[in-house]
Amino acid sequence: MPESNFVDYVKIYCRSGKGGRGSTHMRRAKYVPNGGPDGGDGGRGGDIILRANRNYWTLLHLRYERHILAGHGENGSKNRSFGKDGEDKVIEVPCGTVAYNAETGEYLCDVTEHGQEVVLLKGGRGGLGNWHFRTATRQAPRFAQPGEPMQEMMVILELKLLADVGLVGLPNAGKSTLLSAVSAARPKIANYPFTTLEPNLGIVSYRDNKSFVMADIPGIIEGASEGKGLGLRFLRHIERNSLLLFMVPADSDDIAREYDILLNELRQFNPEMMDKRRVLAITKSDMLDQELMDEIEPALPEGIPHVFISSITGLGINVLKDILWTELNEESNKIEGHIERIAHRPKDMSHLQEELKEEGEDEDLTVEYMDEDDVEDLEDFEYEEEDWDEEDK
């Protein structure tokens, strides 16, 4: 399989900056009988910040940027001079990116709206210079605060597409054909299973310049939640859709059973998927006449709106759009509200190892947790005395 441009998963090493050390400088100038402490404060270490940017669609740009290091704060110096703050590092990601701790699988944060920023790792605060520590009885403190240490972490960034409607169906159900019929997206379509290997998004225009986003994902098969077929790798992209459109072809042997298989896989993947609104489309209905539709109808699953469609003749497509639009605008289904309700579960680390192997992610990721300078600096974190400055004598 050629290397894909759709990157929805990266593992990167992040490190914030350490705080600069406060200075222990003693002022000693000609004609000034009593100098005194004048050591300035250390600068703040840079943060690692995650920022949502709607101009990115995937995590491709991070694929080869595996180490993200913020700047260290500089040490304070004489004359109460502050050390310079370390530079923050901003990781730009598509809206809908979720961050996990790669070692524990713990959910860290997510960013969903353009411009939203979350501090992933905080830089260390700078230490106070000795000037702060002078008191009536201790006029020449020869110590200052060290800066706070940096933080480091292997982080997994995972993209979960933010579409309004997610298409759910077995391979060959006609998902991509529908997307191409109702939007400008041009996904690959063919008469064999697993034509679609990565998700496609399309904007569906509706009456009066309204529109909504539809996500076509690879087909799901029985056992997908255990890794069969393309597995659960893509299911996360419909985790956040506010509405799921189930698609079963008219020539299926048992429409209700096929629907149950799909439903069951989603349930296995994340029980919260069951809370979403669902609509059922019987695809390829150009193969049916009214008589056959009437025959099929009583056997359809109950409690879910259904519609017979054909992406080729256009049958039922407008009715389908009406139903989707109505469902999307039901107050309880609004995507904004939904995002807040989503509980991100920690990553299941047993799957993770497999996924990483599949991706070949780990091969070129060598992590040097700290460079030698840093280690040294951290070791002499004790308050230390600086020599008197001889320069001004």
Q: Is 196 in the site for Mg ion (CB under 5 A)?
A: yes
E strands, the chain, in order: 9-15, 26-27, 36-37, 48-52, 67-69, 89-93, 97-101, 107-111, 117-121, 152-159, 165-169, 200-206, 210-216, 243-249, 277-283, 306-308
Contact status, residue 196 vs residue 176, Cβ threshold 8 Å: yes
Number of H helices, E strands in the chain: 7, 16
CB nearer to ligand GTP: pick between 157 and 245? 245
Q: Is 311 in the site for Mg ion (CB under 5 A)?
A: no
CB nearer to ligand GTP: pick between 46 and 219? 219
Parallel, antiparallel, or unpaired for β 9-15 and 67-69? parallel
Closest approach, Cβ 229 to ligand GTP, in A, equals 9
Contacts of 149 (CB under 8 A, 6+ apart): 18, 19, 124, 378, 381
Q: Which does 202 bind (CB under 5 to 8 A by kind): ligand GTP, Mg ion, none?
A: none
Q: Which does 191 bind (CB under 5 to 8 A by kind): ligand GTP, Mg ion, none?
A: ligand GTP
Q: How many residues of this chain interact with Mg ion, rule: CB under 5 A? A: 4
Half-sphere exposure of 234 (CA within 13 A, CB side): 23
Q: Which does 173 bind (CB under 5 to 8 A by kind): ligand GTP, Mg ion, none?
A: ligand GTP
Closest approach, Cβ 328 to ligand GTP, in A, equals 22
Closest approach, Cβ 172 to Mg ion, in A, equals 8
Q: Which does 130 bind (CB under 5 to 8 A by kind): ligand GTP, Mg ion, none?
A: none
- Inter-axis angle of helices 317-329 and 175-182, to 10 degrees? 90
What's the chain's length in residues?
393
Closest approach, Cβ 44 to ligand GTP, in A, equals 50
CB nearer to ligand GTP: pick between 100 and 234? 234
Phi, psi of 255 (to 5 degrees): -60, -45
CB nearer to ligand GTP: pick between 46 and 174? 174
- CA 365 to chain centroid: 20
Interacting residues toward ligand GTP by CB under 6 A: 169, 171-177, 189-191, 193-196, 218-219, 283-284, 286-287, 310-312
Residue 201 three-state SS: strand
Closest approach, Cβ 8 to ligand GTP, in A, equals 17
Closest approach, Cβ 116 to ligand GTP, in A, equals 32
Residue 87 three-state SS: coil
Contact status, residue 126 vs residue 19, Cβ threshold 8 Å: yes
Closest approach, Cβ 85 to Mg ion, in A, equals 50
Q: Which does 233 bind (CB under 5 to 8 A by kind): Mg ion, ligand GTP, none?
A: none
CB nearer to Mg ion: pick between 151 and 241? 241
Residue 133 three-state SS: helix
CB nearer to ligand GTP: pick between 124 and 218? 218
Closest approach, Cβ 300 to Mg ion, in A, equals 23
CB nearer to Mg ion: pick between 195 and 252? 195
Q: Is 116 in the site for Mg ion (CB under 5 A)?
A: no
Closest approach, Cβ 233 to Mg ion, in A, equals 15
Please name which of 151, 155, 134 lies closest in space to residue 143, comparing C-alpha atoms. 134
Beta carbons within 10 angstroms of residue 184's beta carbon: 10
The residue of the chain with the least Cβ separation from ligand GTP equals: 219
CB nearer to Mg ion: pick between 167 and 280? 167
List the one residue from 101, 195, 205, 268 that touches Mg ion (CB under 5 A). Answer: 195
Residue written as token pair 């107050």: 331
Residue 15 three-state SS: strand
Report the b/e string of 131-145 with b at 16+ CB within 10 A. bbbeeeeeeebbbbb
CB nearer to ligand GTP: pick between 93 and 248? 248
Q: Which does 117 bind (CB under 5 to 8 A by kind): ligand GTP, Mg ion, none?
A: none
List the one residue from 176, 180, 270, 283 that touches Mg ion (CB under 5 A). Answer: 176
Q: Note the residues at the interface with Mg ion (CB under 5 A).
A: 175-176, 195-196
